[in-house]
Structure 1
Amino acid sequence: MRIASILTLSVGSCLLGSIVLAQTASKVPLNDLSAFRPPVSANWRIAADVMADLNQPNTVQLKPATAGATGGVLVCTPASKNTGQANLISTLEHGDADLEFDFMMAKGANSGVYLQGRYEVQLFDSWGVTVPKSADVGSIYERWDDSRPDGKQGYEGHPARQNAGKAPGLWQHLKISFQAPRFDASGKKTENAKILRAELNGVLIHDNVDLSGPTRGAISATEAARGPLVFQGDHGAVAIRNISYTLFDKNKPRLTNLSYMIYKGQYRDEVSFGGMAPESKGTSPVLSAAVSRIPNDFLVRYTGTLHVEDPGEYTFAMNTAGGGGQLRVNGQPLGKWSDNNQSGKATLPVGDLPFEAIYSKYVEWNRPDLQLAVSGPGIRQFMLTPATISEQGETDPILVTAEGNTILRSFMDLPRTKTDQGRTYRVTHGISVGSPEQVHYTYDADFGNVVQVWRGMFLDATPMWENRGDGSSRPMGAVNYLGGKPQLALTRLASPQAPWPTDTMGSGFRPKGYQLDDKDRPTFRYMTAGASVDDQIQALPDGHGLRRQLTVSQPGAGLYARLAAGTSIEAMPNNTYLIDGKSYMIQLNEAGGAQPVVRTSNGAQELIIPVSGKLTYSILF
């Protein structure tokens, strides 16, 4: 019986942790193809919607766009293998930029997006891949040199950290933060391009990856400070929508003329310095807590000049480890005095502006540390303080692997839907089951139902066991949440139109635990509505999803199973349904002749089916 394999890694946490300073993104209009350089290949067109059948290789079905419609879908249906004609090149040119978009792959399809037309991030049907290579989805494709020995022409590819890709026919989301190469005044490259961060379906797949030069198939072997986006259009059927970008091409503000004064004592609120004599004072080239030799119970007050070259709204975020503090820029306080973290916005003119930062350290067990980040119009978040690793922030992550079938019980937090109040639902009797196929799920023993499924790595149990812990764990892969608020999988309805109960009251639901088979896979058992249920959930051998078999004794009349709920449910061939805006699929395998019903309930759609004995279906994602 495999309960959990534990891996701990020693890492230092980032300066400001999860503080993110948002920028306003621009959209690439997709009501027509005017955002791309002519001539545009006939491989590309704008559609209103698109579908890809799991059984039709390299094929998509289009719903034509109507005249004047906005927010279309960019679709490639390749007929030509001529790269120069088939690729789609944006009129936009970028240097440092954040890019994100949704994409959908056809079965077996291959495409890619080239940043600056030179550095390719793969778009590929990698469904079921357990060990990604440089050609798999989200990976940075390899460079190429024909003069190298046979079999070694490709080099320096960067596989994604894990396969967070979804099935063909489902919408996926890619988000990339890119830093362009740097050049001196003579045009000599001084710094390589970088993928600072890339996320696929919400999962980090690249972090600070150095790109020594263009990848194979680039529009030019010569690097430049700016270049277009290029979508590969000669390899496979792909759909793209919701392309947005943020350009970072403005000058960063900088601090000058920094002076400091240090005061002894505990200061836990805003301070008036009139008549107070500092313990010491001086000048510093950087903003740092290190100017104080006192380990605790001190306050450091910095004053200086913030040089701003581009006007606009700037966002500041300050971390004051083990204490509190306050910022003032151009005479404006950025919020009230606060402990640990302070953030605020200020609209700043061009010029040399007065600057003040106050840091008070009074928590004895913290290491002194002052950190300040800023972002602004056309300026990616950067640190105004030296890069350090806070001793306070160091944590050994406790990662649970699943080389075999693995079970871990913990609390599990699920996001609420937009119409619900609060931030999360807490599943207090969650049982997470991992598989070597890298397809995992969480079972809610309070409702007898699967509440989330994911692909990739298994669990981060750090919040469960680090220090006192809060009893919860977190999936480490690309998660699909199944239906929002946890509800029963089976219940008795007076009619197919009767509302699904929102809790277990009156249902007679009673959990009976689970039993493991010879491969450590659980079958959950419970009573509900007078029926006895065996609930067996197993990873499909190809890693394409999960198969669930509900075996019901004494089902009686009016017993229904709720297979899915979401904003939309679309029927596909082979008893398959696209759920919640094409985020995952349900495929009906065996239902004893019963027919599913798609219905609207409480503003959402539900897929339900009568149950008379045995029901088998697959969750594909």
Structure 2
Amino acid sequence: MILNKHVGLLTAALALQLGFVQAQQNPVKLDLSSFEGNKGSWTEVGKVWADPAVPNALQSADGTGIMANLPTKKKTGADIISTQKFGDVDLSLEYLVAPGSNSGVYLQGNYELQILDSWTATNTKPGDNGGIYQRWDESKPDGQKGYEGYAPRQNASKAPGVWQKLDVSFQAPKFNAAGEKTENARFLSVKLNGVTIHENLEVFGPTRGSMTAEDVAEGPLRIQGDHGAVAFRNIEITPFDAKTPTVSKVTYETFQGSFNNLEELEGKSSVAKGSVASLKEVPTSVSDVNLTKYTANLNVAETGEYQISLQVPGGLAGFALGSESISNLSEQGVRVKKQLKAGDNPIQIIASKNRNWSVDGFNLAISGAGLRGTDLLVSQAGASQDTDPILVDADATPVLRSFRDIPNHKRLSHVVSVASSDQVNYAYDMETGTLIQVWRGEFLDATPMWNSRGNGVSVPRGAVINLSTPAVNSVGSDYSPSEEFRTKGYQLMNGSEDIVFSYLLSGKTVKDEIKVLESGKGINRSVSGISDGFYKIAAGTEIQKINKGYYLLPEVGVYLEYDEATYGAPVTHTTDGNAGIFLPAKGNIDYNLLF
């Protein structure tokens, strides 16, 4: 077994900024009326879908809530541009791309996140789905014109015609009073279908096809519409336009010793004290265990409610505003909401380094309306002391047994995870014979399983599709479940590309064979030895027929392909509040799941 270990690209400071403290605020919701530039190809619809076999085409139904770009020869596609301009933002949206189609989302009209049908790609490039597109220099020779693009870490794409989710934290370029650029634009975080594909990436200038040749402080959201059929919904932008708070007029007083509470300070004399202009200038002359009291002014641009977070890695923390007193110290840190006035606000901080291995300093962060979580100080240990991830090498270990946590269910203890060379992965519950998850992309993170004492849990690294909660899937014609299930293990027929799971069901041997499709688009499943009746293949209440023998399961996000003439049409059924999608079974079933 070969394990890969690496350090995450996100710096400690940025981790604190993005995850440690973040105030809630109402996002700006955009629909088709929020954009200009529509030349007729964009329309509002209530439903949209695709046939994966038909390139660059979407079908739609009347309604509202979805922006669909449906270009024709008469109504050629065009980019649409928001009427509102933005600087620092969080962007969240869903999109559905037609087979073989191409689009893009431009932050500030200048920095493109690529949207592409990259269904089966295994070696991602900047031009693939979720990539940060290249910059361009037309004066360079062919083959050298594109530069500084960023490929996504992995292909977290879903199949064309399936809704996908994009979440972006973007920091706009910064300029001084003279208009000179002082900071480049930066993608702080990009998640595709819940998978982080970019972190803390600096963009040194506008990408190819930008609205302006140079960076700007603010710009519109631009959506590409001249490259093919695509649809969008639930577009939300949260602006962060508040001025960054500052801390000034800092005093400090340090006491030698290990202090767990403030009462232990009584009668003690400080060993160092002084005043400095900022927290970063406080000296760390006392190397042993100690406690330091700080006072300072916290300056904010606008009156309002702010969230303040203080953490002393390996030590104890205390915080107070104004004339408030600090009554106790916390090992978990301090998180408080405070009403601050515009201008200077006096604060008090206590950082107790009560263990020899505690590091110097502390982490202090603030957020508020219009203010993304901002680090005011980061300790030597950074925002956290996370363990380097322990990643399972799919080539060396394509099959792994472990525990698994799934939504709305107790922890599973007998799960087999399987990888393939096409980055098509799945998880199988041995206790019930249930195919519980499929995903595309990287295989497993075994950090929870193997770090320190571990808890036995492995975590899929790609865009997980939860198919069904564990249950015996073979049911009678009245949907009554089969009894007396007992697993008999599994056998590798062609490595991890072809596995046969076996179990006893009501005294009969059942063979459950799962193979990765040669196309790399999904898996084939063939179950033999089951009784006549129905077989549950996924949770859900909706089945959308694309053509004969080809269905979309929209709630799950997969396509179902099988011999409808032999087995009959799929059906939905709900038992005890659990809705499922079933295939008629006549001693066996055989179907493909495409994802």
Instruction: Normalising by structure 2, report the TM-score.
Output: 0.92
Aligned to 1:614, which of 581, 588, 595?
A: 588
Q: Where does 1:160-179 land on structure 2 (aligned, <5 Å)?
A: 160-179=152-171
Map 1:159-238 → 2, pairs under 5 A: 159-238=151-230
Partner of 1:36: 35
* Displacement after TM superposition at 1:224 (Å): 1.1
Q: 1:244 to 1:388 in 2, by over 3 A?
A: farther
Q: Which residue of 2 aligns with 1:26?
A: 27
1:543 to partner: Cα distance: 2.0
Q: Against the structure 1 CA distance between its residues 387 and 154, is the aligned structure 2 distance closer, same or farther, given a 3 Å change threshold?
A: farther
Query: C-alpha displacement at 1:482, in angstroms?
Result: 1.5
Determine which of 3, 7, 13 is the counterpart of 2:4: 7
Counterpart for residue 320 of structure 2? 328
Report the residue type matching 1:46 in the other structure. E
Confirm whether residue 47 of structure 1 aligns to residue 31 of structure 2. Answer: no
Matches within 5 A, 1:216-365: 216-269=208-261, 277-287=269-279, 291-295=283-287, 297-331=289-323, 337-365=329-357
Deviates more, 1:142-151 or 1:371-380: 142-151
Q: Which amino acid aligns with 1:6?
A: L
Alpha carbons 1:592, 1:613 under 8 Å: kept: no
Alignment of 1:419-434 (within 5 A): 425-434=410-419
Q: 1:311 to 1:244 in 2, by over 3 A?
A: same
- Check if 1:528 corresponds to 2:505: yes
The residue aligned with 1:540 is 517
How far residue 172 of structure 1 moved from its aligned partner, in angstroms, is 0.4
**Structure-2 change in CA distance of 1:286 and 1:429 (3 Å):** farther
The one-letter code sitting in structure 2 at the alignment partner of 1:235 is H
Looking at structure 2, the residues matched to 567 and 614 of structure 1 have their Cα atoms a distance apart, in angstroms, of 23
Task: Give the C-alpha shift of residue 478 in structure 1.
Answer: 0.8
Shift of residue 563, structure 1, vs aligned partner: 0.8
User: Are the equivalent residues in 2 in contact too, given 1:170–1:582 (CA < 8 A)?
Assistant: no
Distance (Å, rounded) in 1 between the aligned partners of 2:21 and 2:448: 21
Instruction: Answer yes or no: is the 8 Å Cα contact 1:43–1:80 preserved in 2.
Output: no
Aligned with 2:68 (options 58, 75, 80): 75
Change in CA separation of 1:572 and 1:602 when aligned onto 2, cut-off 3 Å: farther
Residue 128 of structure 1 aligns to a residue whose secondary structure is coil
Name the aligned partner's letter for residue 479 of structure 1. Answer: V
Give the letter for the 2:561 counterpart.
Answer: Q
What's the offset of the Cα at 1:566?
2.6
1:243-273 superposed Cα distances (whole Å, 9 cap, x missing partner)? 1111111111111111122234443346596
Shift of 1:133: 1.3
Counterpart CA distance in 2 for 1:299 and 1:542 is 63
Contact 1:288 1:371 in 2 (8 A): no
Q: Distance in 2 between matches of 1:531 and 1:363?
A: 62
Alignment of 1:366-381 (within 5 A): 366-381=358-373
Q: Distance in 2 between matches of 1:531 and 1:591?
A: 27
Q: Is the 8 A contact 1:111 1:123 kept in 2?
A: yes
Give how far 1:220 is off. 2.0
Q: How far did residue 320 of structure 1 move?
A: 1.6
Alignment deviations for residues 119-177 of structure 1 (CA, whole Å, 9 cap, x no partner): 11111100000011121100011122221112322222211111101001111011111
Once residues 397 and 426 of structure 2 are traced to their aligned partners in structure 1, the CA distance between those partners, rounded to angstroms, is 11
Distance in structure 1 (CA, Å) of the matches to 2:263 and 2:39 = 66
Contact persistence 1:600–1:606 (CA under 8 A): yes
Q: Calculate percent identity across the aligned residue pairs.
A: 39
Q: CA deviation at 1:230?
A: 0.6
- Relative to structure 1, the CA distance from residue 365 to residue 461 in structure 2 (aligned partners, 3 Å threshold; closer, same or farther) is same
Q: Is the 8 A contact 1:590 1:615 kept in 2?
A: no
1:572 aligns to 2:546 (yes or no): yes
Quote the Cα distance in structure 1 between the aligned partners of 2:586 and 2:510. 12
* 1:397 matches 2:380: no
The question of whether the paired residues in 1 share the 8 Å contact of 2:130 and 2:197 is answered with yes
- 1:583-613 Cα offsets, whole Å, 9 max, x none, are 2233234784344222244455311123222
**Which of 417, 427, 431 pairs up with 1:446?**
431
- Cα gap change, 1:269 to 1:172, in 2 (>3 Å): farther
Specify the code of the residue in structure 1 equivalent to 2:593.
I
Stretch deviating more after TM superposition (396-405 or 145-154): 396-405
- CA distance change for structure 1 residues 93 and 473 in 2, over 3 Å: closer, same or farther? same
Q: Give the structure 1 partner of residue 484 of structure 2.
A: 508
1:487 counterpart = 2:471: yes
Aligned residue identity for 1:514: Y
Q: Give distance in 2, aligned partners of 1:473 and 1:295.
A: 40
CA shift for structure 1 position 236 = 0.8
> What's 1:60 paired with?
58
Report if aligned partners of 1:567, 1:604 keep a CA contact under 8 Å in 2.
no
Secondary structure of the residue aligned to 1:339 is coil
Q: State how far apart, in whole Å, the 2-side matches of 1:118 and 1:97 are.
A: 14
Count of aligned residue pairs for this structure pair? 590
Q: Determine the C-alpha separation between the residues in 2 that align with 1:494 and 1:611.
A: 9
Q: Which moved more, 1:472-481 or 1:538-547?
A: 538-547
Cα distance in structure 2, aligned partners of 1:280 and 1:22: 36
Instruction: Choose 610-619 or 303-312, whichever is displaced more.
Output: 610-619
1:403-460 Cα distance to aligned partner (Å, 9 max, x none):
37711111111122xxxxxxx6311111111111011111111111121111111111
Structure 1 residue 550, shift from structure 2 partner: 1.0
Work out whether residues 257 and 289 of structure 2, in 8 Å CA contact, stay in contact via their aligned partners in 1: yes
RMSD of aligned residue pairs (Cα, Å): 2.8
* Deviation readout 1:517-546 (Å, 9 max, x if unpaired): 133442111112333111111222222122
Distance in 2 (alpha carbons) for counterparts of 1:34 and 1:336? 53
Q: Is the 2:189–2:199 contact (alpha carbons within 8 Å) kept by the matching residues of 1?
A: yes
Q: Which runs of 5+ in 2 are unaligned?
A: none
Question: Structure 1 stretch 508-517 or stretch 604-613: which is displaced more?
Answer: 604-613
> Aligned equivalents of 1:296 and 1:410: distance in 2?
43
Query: Judging changes above 3 Å, is the alpha-carbon distance between structure 1 residues 191 and 542 closer, same or farther for their aligned structure 2 residues?
Result: same
How far apart, in 2, do the equivalents of 1:120 and 1:387 lie? 35
Give the whole-Å Cα distance in 2 for the aligned partners of 1:399 and 1:206. 18
Q: 2-side partners of 1:76 and 1:334: how far apart? A: 58
Q: Distance in 2 between matches of 1:393 and 1:544?
A: 39
- What residue number does 1:410 align with? 402
- Distance (whole Å) between structure 1 residues aligned to residue 356 and residue 381 of structure 2: 18
Aligned letter for 2:79? N
Matched AA of 1:513: G
- CA shift, 1:183, in A, is 2.0
Query: Could you give the per-residue CA deviations for residues 216-248 of structure 1, whole angstroms, max 9, x where no partner exists?
Result: 222222321111011011111111001111111
Task: Assess if the C-alpha contact under 8 Å between 2:532 and 2:587 holds in 1.
Answer: no
Give me the whole-angstrom Cα distance separating, in 2, the residues matched to 1:570 and 1:332.
Answer: 61
